[in-house]
């Protein structure tokens, strides 16, 4: 199984899938789905697909942790 592990923020794609959010945060896919459905999380719905813009994700992390990734 070939898994993607990002070594820096710059390697992330412009739009992150729920699976990529799970990998970046080190949480389960189920946990990532709960997160993207939570109020205030910067998710963009395209049909039934949910993606997160990289810049908005970074801002969300900084606002919710006081740090950066």
pLDDT tens digit string along 11-69? Answer: 999 999 999 999 999 999 999 999 999 999 999 999 999 999 999 999 999 998 876 55
* Residues present in the chain in total: 69
- Report the pLDDT value the prediction gives residue 2, as an integer from 0 to 100: 45
Strands, sheet with 15-17, edge to edge from the N-terminal-most edge strand: 15-17, 49-53, 44-46
- Report the pLDDT value the prediction gives residue 3, as an integer from 0 to 100: 58
For domain 12-65, give the fold: Molybdopterin biosynthesis moea protein, domain 2 (3.90.105)
3-state class of 33 per DSSP?
helix
Residue 3: which residues within 8 A CB-CB, separation 6 or more?
23
Largest CA distance in the chain: 35
Q: What residues does each domain of the chain span?
A: 12-65
């Amino acid at each position: 199984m070939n898994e993607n592990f990002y070594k820096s923020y710059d390697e992330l794609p412009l739009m992150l899938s729920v699976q990529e959010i799970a990998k970046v945060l080190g949480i389960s896919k189920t946990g990532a789905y709960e997160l993207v459905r939570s109020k205030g999380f910067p998710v963009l719905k395209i049909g039934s697909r949910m993606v997160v813009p990289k810049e908005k994700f970074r801002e969300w992390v900084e606002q919710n942790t006081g740090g950066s990734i």
